[in-house]
Amino acid sequence: MPRKLDISLKKQPKQARAIATVDAIVEAATYILKRHGAAGFTANKVADKAGVNIASFYQYFPNKEALLFHVATLTWDRQLAQLAPVLARGGQDHAAKLREFIRMFFAVEAAEADLRRALRIAAVELKDTAQFRELMDEGAALTRTFIEDALRERAPGDLSFDVRFIVLLTTSFAERTTDEGTSDAELMRQADLLADMLIGHYGIA
């Protein structure tokens, strides 16, 4: 039963002042999610921390989920930007590229583990939102393409199944291990092991 959850920004801030307001809100939200987790994420607290009036908050965001979505989008974009170079790199050394991608993915995930965790918890209600699913899909698409590329030559019967599997495997593991606070050294070791397994299994060259 997907609720009527309007998640889109009420209006685009145009004046510098308004932009500053929205920025402050987003920053405060990010800070609170990081430091106090999803439970501490309340509209009033965010507005307080941002130093803006709660009514101003509702000027730009129709509800607290909209802000959450906004933060999630920004976070996602930021992380995608970090991964972009790896994803975009050309060449045919798929094995090396995959290994590097996984390492990078783990590292990026680890860098904001706190925020990610909080978002994951808080975003539960966003899940039945078209926009949120779209966001997730967009992100996944890039990775999917990348994996597809590496696999195509060794293509087994059902490429899309394997791609889905690898994406799920990589992302879920990354999410979980960073959540557990795995050390950087072990993290990289895990990344390499995972890469090795995939490369070995699929015979990626």
Partner DNA sequence: CATGAATGAGAATTCATTCAT
Partner DNA sequence: CATGAATGAATTCTCATTCAT
- Considering only 31, 58, 76, 173, the residue that binds DNA (CB under 7 A) is 58
**Residue 175 contact partner, candidates its own copies, DNA, none, CB within 5 to 8 A by sort of partner:** its own copies
The three-class DSSP label of residue 204 is: coil
- Tell me the CB-side half-sphere exposure of residue 11, using CA atoms within 13 A: 10
Report if residue 173 touches its own copies, rule: CB under 8 A: yes
Rounded least distance, CB 175 to DNA, Å? 24
Rounded least distance, CB 6 to DNA, Å? 9
- Which is closer to DNA, CB of 4 or CB of 157? 4
Report if residue 39 touches its own copies, rule: CB under 8 A: yes
- Considering only 7, 26, 33, 57, the residue that binds DNA (CB under 7 A) is 57
Report if residue 110 touches its own copies, rule: CB under 8 A: no
Report if residue 177 touches its own copies, rule: CB under 8 A: yes
Report if residue 20 touches DNA, rule: CB under 7 A: yes
d(CA 199, CA 112): 27
CA-closest candidate to residue 98, choices 106, 114, 107, 87: 87
What is the separation of C-alpha 95 from the centre of its chain, rounded to a whole number of angstroms? 24
**Residue 165 contact partner, candidates DNA, its own copies, none, CB within 5 to 8 A by sort of partner:** its own copies
Distances (CA, A) of 108 to 60, 76, 103, 104: 30, 11, 9, 6
Report if residue 53 touches DNA, rule: CB under 7 A: yes
d(CA 122, CA 125): 7
- Which is closer to DNA, CB of 44 or CB of 92? 44
d(CA 164, CA 170): 10
- Considering only 32, 95, 113, 194, the residue that binds its own copies (CB under 8 A) is 194
The site for its own copies (CB under 8 A) is made up of 37-39, 121, 124-125, 161-162, 165, 168-169, 171-173, 175-177, 180, 186, 189-190, 193-194, 196-198, 200-201
